[in-house]
Amino acid sequence: MLTESPREQWGSKLGFILAAAGSAIGLGNIWKFPYIAGENGGSSFIIIYLICIAVIGLPVLVGEILLGRTTQRNPVGAFKALNGSKFWAGVGGMGVVAGFLILSFYAVIAGWSIGYIYQSISGDFFQYADPAKAADHFVALTKDVVWIVSYFALFMIITMSVVYAGVQKGIERGSKIMMPLLLLLLIFVMIRGITLPGSGEGLKFIFNPDWSHVNGQTILIALGHAFFTLSMGMGAMLTYGSYMSKKDSVLSSAIQIVILDTFIALIAGVAIFTSVFAVGLDASGGPGLIFHTLPAVFTIMPGGQIIGTIFFILLTIAALTSAISLLEVITAYFIDEKGWSRHKAVIVFGTVTFIIGLPSALSFNVLADFNIFGKNFFDLVDYLASNILLPLGGLFIAIFIAYVWKFDKALIALKDGSEKIFNKNPLIITLWQIFIKYFAPVLIFLVLLSSIGVL
């Protein structure tokens, strides 16, 4: 059943770009990217990551947004509209499920970020100049069920209120305020990092390639991260694309989103590594880099309390604009396919996501010893969604566009709004064809094999 009321749309192209960049820019850029770059040799990893973004990320992102814009539907409806088979509707459904799963653990980490704003303002974590002590403090906080669940709930409520307000009044308006603020705050933190004595070591780490660290695994990690950071493979970009006007260019929007996302990841890397190196700490702190190493950095560096507070505010904003896009996928599905009202869909599925996320939140305390396939619940959901469902979704999107919907038809749809760009640069068409037909499917397939341990 389809809804009677007209489908919502973005108010402007800029609104779409900011909302989509908001989805892309998140914990992936500020929490995950710096630590995986830190663990994999810094700049050499970054170069490989940039290549992955250009040859796989951008072409598949263009395709995903295009599917949404062409059909003006949620992920399930989009595949159904272009191909009647149950299989492809199931692929869309897999995206909706992945969105649920990602949001359920993503909001737990985002909750820590809100908690750390308070930690920073109250000065609680400024007693830990030693990262090992800061780590103990973090572990103690996450062992506290009330602490972890309340901040998780708070973050879900904020996310739900934005999505509840609608595409233009909630998501677009929120992104127009939050995204410029995020950029400003991050640049401020970066300038503080660069101006610290000894920050040059951090810059060297990011900009002087060290190829000795690079192996097959590095490439696979970089490619896997390209999906997560661009919110690709589960229909978030497809759903945002479905609110886009046919007059606007999918190609130029996708390029701008990719540039913004990459730029923010690099600034976050510079901000974090210059600070970490300046105070003489270890850059390969892993997932704890932000919650263990950085509090120690903020304790040591002059002006650290203000910078620390700003940092966790910006991290929360980044997480919020991404979480909104995750909840919007489920919401759009229930509005389009089941005829639900936006308000009902948000309240029901925001609550369901919270319930599904509880075992993830409890993985750090009461369920710490509960392991499935050697992973706790949190790690399992993260692994399943980020390493399996997203690449699988991306693989299907590339195959669908190239071989099921067919490249030529997709190209006609892509030309809407992009005529000028194509007339000036016809080579883009050939490149998109090669990447979406051959590069993307083959490389993503390799990532998947490595994710399930075959490679």
Interface with ligand PFF (CB under 6 A): 23-24, 26-29, 99, 102, 228-229, 231, 234, 236, 322, 325-326
Which is nearer to ligand PFF, 281 or 294 (by Cβ)?
294
Spatial distance between the Cα atoms of 43 and 20, rounded to a whole number of angstroms: 27
Which is nearer to ligand PFF, 249 or 322 (by Cβ)?
322
Burial class (CB in 10 A: 0-12, 13-18, 19+), 303: exposed
C-alpha closest to that of 62 among 258, 200, 355, 331: 258
Give me 51's structure tokens.
Answer: 């290549």
Spatial distance between the Cα atoms of 13 and 19, rounded to a whole number of angstroms: 10
Give the number of other Cβ atoms within 10 Å of residue 101's Cβ. 22
Distance, first Cα to last Cα, the chain: 44
Which is nearer to ligand PFF, 228 or 396 (by Cβ)?
228
Q: Closest residue (Cβ) to ligand PFF?
A: 28
Query: Shortest gap between Cβ of 281 and ligand PFF (angstroms)?
Result: 24
Which is nearer to ligand PFF, 21 or 300 (by Cβ)?
21
DSSP 197-236: TTTHHHHHHHHS--GGG--HHHHHHHHHHHHHHTT-SSSH
Query: Shortest gap between Cβ of 28 and ligand PFF (angstroms)?
Result: 2
Spatial distance between the Cα atoms of 357 and 380, rounded to a whole number of angstroms: 12
Angle, alpha carbons 308-39-46 (nearest 5°):
90
Contact 231, 322 (CB under 8 A): yes
Contact 168, 11 (CB under 8 A): yes
Query: Shortest gap between Cβ of 134 and ligand PFF (angstroms)?
Result: 23
Can you tell me which residue has the tokens 């599917």? 67
Which is nearer to ligand PFF, 228 or 377 (by Cβ)?
228
Query: Shortest gap between Cβ of 282 and ligand PFF (angstroms)?
Result: 24
Query: Shortest gap between Cβ of 236 and ligand PFF (angstroms)?
Result: 3
Query: Shortest gap between Cβ of 433 and ligand PFF (angstroms)?
Result: 26
Query: Shortest gap between Cβ of 24 and ligand PFF (angstroms)?
Result: 5
Which is nearer to ligand PFF, 261 or 336 (by Cβ)?
261
Burial class (CB in 10 A: 0-12, 13-18, 19+), 15: buried
Which is nearer to ligand PFF, 29 or 175 (by Cβ)?
29
Query: Shortest gap between Cβ of 328 and ligand PFF (angstroms)?
Result: 9
Give me 107's structure tokens.
Answer: 């909001």
Run of H or E including 397:
helix 390-399
Spatial distance between the Cα atoms of 53 and 326, rounded to a whole number of angstroms: 21
Give me 117's structure tokens.
Answer: 């704003």
Which is nearer to ligand PFF, 103 or 413 (by Cβ)?
103
Query: Shortest gap between Cβ of 30 and ligand PFF (angstroms)?
Result: 8
C-alpha closest to that of 162 among 352, 346, 358: 346
Please give the single-letter amino acid code of residue 451.
Answer: S
Query: Shortest gap between Cβ of 23 and ligand PFF (angstroms)?
Result: 5
C-alpha closest to that of 106 among 331, 320, 394: 320
Which is it for the CA torsion 63, 107, 90, 376, positive or negative? positive
Which is nearer to ligand PFF, 308 or 391 (by Cβ)?
391
Which is nearer to ligand PFF, 262 or 418 (by Cβ)?
262
Can you tell me which residue has the tokens 């992102």? 61
Give the number of other Cβ atoms within 10 Å of residue 159's Cβ. 27
Which is nearer to ligand PFF, 36 or 335 (by Cβ)?
36
Which is nearer to ligand PFF, 148 or 257 (by Cβ)?
257
Query: Shortest gap between Cβ of 212 and ligand PFF (angstroms)?
Result: 28
Query: Shortest gap between Cβ of 180 and ligand PFF (angstroms)?
Result: 18
Neighbouring residues of 115: CB distance < 8 A, sequence distance ≥ 6:
141, 147, 151
Give the number of other Cβ atoms within 10 Å of residue 80's Cβ. 19
